Chain A
Amino acid sequence: MRLLSAFVVGLIFGAGIAISGMINPAKVLNFFDIAGTWDPSLIFVMGGALITTFLGYRVVLHRPAPLLEDRFQLPTNTRIDRRLIGGAALFGLGWGIAGFCPGAALPALGSGKGEVFAFVVALLAGISVARMILAYRARVDATA
């Protein structure tokens, strides 16, 4: 049941990314290119997604627990620190260079285009390196 529901959730997400145009790096980069070939469509993607999620969460999070698990797993960290802002800044830099964000690249794999596979491999490499750095830092902090 969990596997089937995960697949369906992924399918709806992937279809949404595809229909919205988020799947297309040319369109995404044009959203960020106000001084050039600007295409404001992504405001509507963000707006539609945010309003739907905001309203849906209000209903869902009122329930005592999710349907398939014992409890909700919500982030508890509320600190706005250098790691958060620095990481977000790096993400923005990479997004502007490549034109893909992770949530758009995964559905875009369905297009079978080699560039998307190249992006996802580089993405996984970056995630792995960052994890190693974080694990190393945690070890140093633990022994300090």
Chain B
Amino acid sequence: MTGLETAFTPLQSLAGGVLIGVSAVLLMALQGRILGATGILSGLLTAGSPGDRSWRAMMIAGMIAGPLLVLAATGQMPAVDVPVSLPMILVGGFIVGIGVTFGSGCTSGHGVCGMARLSRRSFAATATFMAVCFLTVYVIRHLLGV
């Protein structure tokens, strides 16, 4: 099986990417922190101070409100099409959770903030997860035909 076709959107994607960058720079300017979804989420699970937990919760609330802001501005809800079965979502999600914890970061932390700091660790991590993801999608779609 092949995936659902999606349109090539270079300008929108670039604009969205710039916004992601702006948010990362703002967090560094304001709180002096790396904007990593893994770090922000997993900090919520550890028993930090209540103040520490509340800014993390607020940031996640803001993230969740992001697509609603786009809906309000454009009148259109951004598409979220899931071409994957529920068991694969659950298995994949669990593996992602293990991986980002051992690897200390994900696409935002390593791929954007870490590489922007020219961190060798982040270049190594990003190259690894991108390569494995390409391979995984190839195997699933073209060898297993799921």
Chain A residues packing against B (C-beta within 8 Å)? 2-27, 29-30, 32-37, 39-54, 56-57, 59-61, 63, 65-69, 71-75, 77-80, 83-111, 113, 115-116, 118-131, 134
Contacts and interface: CB of A to CB of B under 8 A. Distances in A.
Contacts of B89: 98-100, 115, 118-119, 122
Interface residues of B, number: 115
Contacts of B15: 19-20, 48
A86 B36 CA distance: 19
Given A15-B67, A48-B14, A126 B97 contact: yes
B20 to A, nearest CB: 4
* Residue from B7, B93, B115, B137 having most chain A Cβ neighbours under 10 A: B93
State the main secondary structure of chain B at its contact with A. helix
* Residue from B56, B62, B69 having most chain A Cβ neighbours under 10 A: B62
A123 B128 CA distance: 20
Contacts of A98: 84, 88-89, 91-93, 96
Contacts of A111: 67, 77-78, 80
* Residue from B20, B37, B106 having most chain A Cβ neighbours under 10 A: B20
A60 B25 contact: yes
B31 A69 contact: yes
A48 B18 contact: yes
B102 to A, nearest CB: 3
Contacts of A50: 17, 21, 111-112, 115-116
A100 B89 CA distance: 8
Nearest to A10: B62
| Across the A-B interface, the 3 shortest Cβ-Cβ residue pairs | A14-B66, A126-B97, A20-B16
Nearest to A122: B93
Interface of B: 2-38, 41-42, 45-46, 51, 54-56, 58-70, 77-84, 86, 88-104, 106-108, 110-117, 119-121, 124-126, 128-138, 140-142
Given A88-B110, A111-B67, 19 more contacts: A3-B55, A12-B62, A16-B19, A21-B9, A23-B78, A52-B20, A52-B22, A57-B117, A80-B121, A85-B124, A92-B136, A96-B136, A98-B91, A105-B37, A108-B67, A109-B64, A115-B89, A124-B41, A129-B94
A88 B21 contact: no
30 contacts: A5-B31, A6-B56, A13-B20, A13-B63, A20-B12, A23-B80, A35-B141, A37-B6, A44-B13, A44-B14, A46-B17, A50-B21, A52-B18, A56-B25, A59-B25, A71-B32, A83-B102, A84-B125, A86-B102, A86-B103, A89-B99, A92-B129, A94-B94, A96-B134, A99-B82, A107-B67, A108-B80, A119-B92, A123-B94, A127-B42
